[in-house]
Chains A and B, each alone.
Chain A
Amino acid sequence: MADIAVPEVKKDIETPLPQEGTMAHLQPFPAAEQHMKPLNFPPTRVENWQQKGVEKLGEMLKKYRSLQVFMDICVKCGSCTDKCHYFLGTGDPNNMPVQRAELLRSVYRRYFTPAGKLFPKVVNAVDLDEDTLKKWFTYFHQCSQCRRCSVFCPYGIDTAEISMAAREIMDSIGVGHKYTTEIIGKVHSIGNNLGIPQPALKGTLQFLEEDMLDNTGHEVRLPLDQEGAEVLLVPPSADFFSEPHIQSLMGYAKVFHQAGISFTVSSYGSEAANFGMFIGSYDQKQKIAKRIADQARELKVKRIVVGECGHAWRVAYSFWNTLNGPFDFLDPRYPVPQHVCEFTYDLYKQGALVFDKEANDAHTITFHDSCNVARASRMGSSCGGQFEIPRALIKATANKFVDMDPDTTHEKTFCCGGGGGLLTDELMDLRVRGALPRITALKRVMDEKGVNYLALICAICKAQFNKILPMYGIPMDMVGGVHALVSNAIQLGAKKGIV
């Protein structure tokens, strides 16, 4: 990765001039037979792939209103053209959301509209040929499905839906993406994205329990597969093994401990992430999500709490009920599922938790709204809770909090650059450049307000920033979870519990 040029960080986010083909070289590794087979995709490209691909598109138009409407109604007003972090970082016109969508739309026109059949040149309609497929594989894997474009579109056209559809079509003709398909295979065979088997998971949790005992003097537990616990905790599997994720896991455990609420992690459901969404597969999304519902039944829990993971929260919050609901076997007094920030903040408001804010005095904190939490889900009972609750929780645990430029937070937040199934090393060039808008806003509060802690609630954001920040000359130890702050500030012991 020596050839990766890190862009210069300016004071403000600047819109580049479109420059044809700057990212045409960058494709993810294609999936091999052993990655495609377990997902019931054709192991290699099917013979009549053009015909099959067009048929699949036709089938999906009938299954997804979003796709059908979004194919028709774009007026190319240009509102989205300067909104995608990948365009801002690369200048490649195919990374403008409208142009990315046009890659699919031009094929749609050719085969499904009278204008495209009669006057392909006039309306820009193209055949699904080798060249088109190459562009699809390239640029639909340069979209992190963050939905920032859909905020600014007068019709709400969501490029995430379009790139999911394109990936599903490609999978259906045997043209898959290694990173995502391989990981989904691991979820099914082992139970989590990282491929951590049950004994290793057990060992890790025990080690962390001892670590917390040493550091706090309290027996904070991290139970595994414990039937009859009150809560099933579903963190992203990175929380078990990666830095700085693991600090948040200890934060969750301390919250449960102090509130006196029993909980368990499930080894078979030890993964909140659901890469079925990234590849647009309804079936995979449903199968992966079903593990959690099954485990909740089997372990006879009453509530489900999801850890700090952006796209997982979208799937859990927005899709679980549709995919595997209703969850009428759980305690009806609580929403299903609950985000761990909701859960913790709720306990704090009830007085079950006491925080020592000074414990975080070394940090001046800013918060990065993760795209799937900000634009595709909610926390709490009122509109916008996904912005307020994490910030309120940070402010409850620390004295110094600063927001970044409002054009880069809340619903206008920028993707970290690694979401949507792109957190893979061969796409590093894209990940570095795509992070530029966020880094620009971050660097500004670092310089002007002395920010030295980037608080996150997403496993992908954490991994991405951990890797990318040093490339921009920013120390990686400023990356941390919101529950790492909770972990620092929480007062264990006296006045324990609410139940």
Chain B
Amino acid sequence: MLALIAYAALLVFFIGFTWRILTYWRSPAPLKIPTTPAPTSTGGVVWRLFTEVAFFNSLFKGNKWTWAGGYLFHAALAVVLIRHLRYFVDSLPPFFAYIQIAGIIAGLIMVKALGFLLIRRLWVARTRAISSLADYLILALLLAIGLSGLLMKFVFRPDIVEIKTAMINWVTFQEVTTPGDALFLLHFVLVLLLMAIFPFSKLMHMGGLFFSPTRNQVDNPRERKHVNPWANKAVE
């Protein structure tokens, strides 16, 4: 049963994410609107997007505290995700052993960064004023996922062999025996929930950033005519 729900959640994630990305992809960009100064070549645009994704460049300009919290959270999340491969792949290359410790530290950092972002959202009058229930719920969901994970690592250690067997069977489409550990089940179900709401929430910033015309356009309107696909052929 759990395996089926999990497949369903993943399906919602992949189909939903693809649907959003296709929507962005298909929507036309009628005019040149890069926020200038902007790169004058495609290579420059690739670099601009890279710095946004890798360093959160614009956010760094905007607010150092938010940048610090946001950056730590995202970087830590990336390491945590890599560490989680060990639960889904039977035999990993030996160097993965070194990632384990980094992953555990990252888990601690991730939860602390989330806590900081939550406190900041509540503390600063401006961010408090712009936050809706959904903004808090997403933070709470991520925090619950992180905390349940850390609890399994440090306090209530579940039968990891049982869980790993279940997970590998799950990703290889074999029969899954649902693990009995309650904390694990909570952790897993919350992740499934996150996946399922992803395409319908602000988490789509992950894919959407690459489609933002103010960031992904080349500043060359005089040199090359940018064609608006839905323009009237001639205005009389």
Contacts and interface: CB of A to CB of B under 8 A. Distances in A.
Query: Is chain B a partner of chain A in the same complex?
Result: yes
Contacts of A343: none
A325 B235 CA distance: 12
A65 B235 contact: no
Given A73-B202, A79-B62, A325 B132 contact: no
Contacts of B62: 79-80, 83, 151-154
A322 B131 CA distance: 39
Nearest to B20: A72
Interface residues of B, number: 65
A233 B205 CA distance: 44
A78 B63 contact: yes
Nearest to A337: B222
Interface string A128-155: 0000000000000000000100111111
B200 to A, nearest CB: 5
Nearest to A78: B127
Interface in B203-236: 204-205, 208-209, 211-215, 219, 221-228, 230-232, 235
Contacts of B44: 383
A292 to B, nearest CB: 13
Contacts of B28: 63-65
A70 B38 CA distance: 19
A322 B202 contact: no
A69 B211 contact: yes
A190 interface: no
B215 A319 contact: no
A113 B125 contact: no
Contacts of A335: 222-223
Interface residues of A, number: 75
B125 A17 contact: yes
Given A65-B211, A76-B202, A322 B61 contact: no
Interface in A71-96: 72-83, 93, 96
B146 interface: no
Interface string A100-144: 001000000000011100000111100000000000000000000
B126 A82 contact: yes
B40 interface: yes
Nearest to A62: B27
Interface of A: 15, 17-18, 61-66, 68-70, 72-83, 93, 96, 98-99, 102, 113-115, 121-124, 147, 150-158, 161, 282-283, 286-287, 290, 317-323, 325-326, 335-337, 374-378, 382-384, 386-387, 411
Given A81-B127, A158-B214, A383-B38, 8 more contacts: A65-B24, A65-B28, A76-B202, A79-B62, A123-B133, A154-B205, A286-B235, A322-B225
Interface of B: 20, 23-24, 27-33, 35-40, 44, 52, 56, 58-59, 61-63, 66, 70, 121, 124-127, 129-135, 137, 197, 200-202, 204-205, 208-209, 211-215, 219, 221-228, 230-232, 235
17 contacts: A61-B27, A63-B30, A64-B29, A72-B202, A73-B205, A74-B202, A99-B130, A114-B200, A151-B61, A154-B70, A155-B58, A156-B58, A283-B232, A322-B31, A322-B221, A322-B225, A325-B225
